[in-house]
Amino acid sequence: MTDQIETELKALYTRMLCACGFRPDDARAEVNKAIEMCKRAGEKEGTASLPSGFGDLILVAAKEGQRFAANRVNVARSEGATDEDIREFWNLHDLQRRMVLWSEEVFRFATFKDLLAKGLSADEAMMQVRGMFPMYGDPLETQHTTGDDRPLPHELRGRVDRYREKWGACVIAQGLSAHSSYNAFVRAELRSGRL
């Protein structure tokens, strides 16, 4: 199973990097490095061997009051995630979850560097990146952002992605113009019931 997932991830992310201008050999090399890095991180953090269906298990564990699961599920729910969102994210294989995070970082960093090259300061560039991409992480972390700009829970990723696909860039750009960041826009859409 893991070999099949790894093969699929290599193909997916190699195509993605090629679409962004990478030569195929360079794209394959970058993806192979990323996969190895993600596998090592999963082994180090003890998540590489999470069972399949872990999303279902974490929901059951939360209902039973197990502290880690209950905390994780309660934070996600308090930020608008449904049980289906939680299940969808945590039922992914650990390598799939980690490669999603890796790819987002690659695109955010490339955009950040491009904005710096255009003469923006690091703070200005980061503000623009926050307006172009949803930022995920621990919603309780307020060191870099506060209020509605705080990180969204990882569990909302699938729903946010489907919303983007449904409405398209133009509609989302209009909505974003009234908000301080993509995250603030997402939170407003969650509160209104549109997302």
Question: For 128-182, how does the pLDDT look when each residue is reduced to its tens digit (9 = 90+)?
Answer: 999 999 999 999 999 999 999 999 999 999 999 999 999 998 889 999 999 999 9
Q: Return d(Cα 118, Cα 124) in angstroms, integer.
A: 11
- 3-class SS of residue 136: strand
Query: ∠ CA(53), CA(140), CA(55), 5° rounding?
Result: 5
Q: CA end-to-end span of the chain, whole Å?
A: 33
Least Cα distance to 133 among 189, 81, 184, 183 occurs for: 183
Q: What does pLDDT average to over the chain?
A: 95
Q: Is the pLDDT reported for residue 2 higher than 80?
A: no
**Any idea what DSSP says for residue 147?**
G
Indicate yes or no: pTM above 0.95: no
Least Cα distance to 72 among 93, 86, 54 occurs for: 86
| Torsion sign (Cα): 101, 104, 110, 113 | negative
